[in-house]
Amino acid sequence: MAPKRRDNKGRILQMGEWQEPNGRYRYIYNDALGKRKIIYSWRLTEADPVPAHKHKEVPLREKEKQVQSLFMQGISGSDLTVIELVERYISLKTGVKQSTLANYKTVINTLNKTEFAFRHVDQVKLSDAKMYLISLQRSGLGYSSIHNIRGVIRPAFQMAVDDDMILKNPFDFEMSSVLINDSNKREALSPQDQKRFLEFVQNDKHYSRYYDAFLFLFSTGLRISEFCGLTVKDLDFEEEVINVDHQLQRSRNMKYYIESTKTTSGTRKIPMTEEVKELCQRIVANRNKPKRESIIDGYGGFLFFDKEGKPMVALHWEKYIQHARDKYNRQHALQLPPITPHICRHTFCSNMARQGMNPKTLQYIMGHSDIAVTMNVYTHLGLDDAREELVRLKEARNVMKMKGVM
């Protein structure tokens, strides 16, 4: 009978346990896939002291219990690294939009610049995941950018959970509990600021050429890429509706392409008010038709073009609005807040909420897939709005009393 192995304290070592010459313990086992694995610790049991100049860590036998627990639950462990896991997750995404693919590429590029990318998936703990996000913010990335990165890594780790590679998802926590939200909130313009901006644009020698486009964004609430994708055929003057069923995008390599709307709810028909109908007719009448119409993925007849005769995209309008607002602020003491195409959309939504539009109707017009997104706009209304609403309700009651209804 072979003598039992013992450590330097005379304790019997169990099957798979070894003590190295430097005193460190190791445990060798095969995972559920038959792959050889090794775990280490400077302590065998909880009663062992921490060696000098070493960090306190979980004793080897506690680690063994964790391994055995995972086996009993069918958890196999994984040799995949974080970057390999994310790439596998992305490879299973089929039929995604080009903008989404560009976001995936950004996540991969960001990951590859960090040591975290090459950690084994089954070795990533909750604290590791939190520290990774914190390191991204400390490196200068904004909250919204980190949110997008986590939006890919989190489901990738959930896939690992579902595949029985790991027991828990280390990224399953509220990001706001770890990071400082330094993102700028997109505030709607006040009615006064909207009026001042549009009046300035209308009367400015240079920016007046964009007045109808700016007014259209404030009057319809379209997403900027939906607006860029509009064609003459999408303006149905007979039915008095704007057909929204696609977006115009441009990639970083300057390739134009058509995408479906952001969500299925984004495909909609927006009724034209009389003012919007006249605005659309004016846009079509003043359309600077190029010598050669651009046909992009079968779509032609776009409404606005750049100097090269190409359809304008979101970046054009973002710059035009920004430059117009900057020029206004250089000439006026009373400054305008930041204005972007999305703020135009948010302002339209807030104006409709302020005027008492039914939330479900507003959700449809905005193309929101979730009513909660629409309802959030109502929380932005302030004291003046509340006073106006109470006055309106009082006047409505007085009318009902006069008619004998109350």
Q: Which residues are catalytic?
A: 223, 262, 342, 345, 368, 378
Distance (Å, rounded) from C-alpha 63 to C-alpha 42? 12
CB contact at 8 A, 156 and 85: yes
Write the single-letter amino acid at 288. N
Structure tokens at 163: 């595949």
Distance (Å, rounded) from C-alpha 342 to C-alpha 317? 11
Distance (Å, rounded) from C-alpha 194 to C-alpha 206? 19
**For residue 98, what are the contacts with CB-CB under 8 A and spacing of at least 6?**
249, 251, 257, 259
C-alpha pair distances (Å), 338 with each of 221, 242, 381: 17, 28, 18
Q: What is the side-by-side order of every strand in the sheet holding 17-19? A: 17-19, 25-30, 36-41
Residue by residue, DSSP assigns 51-70 as: PTT------HHHHHHHHHHH
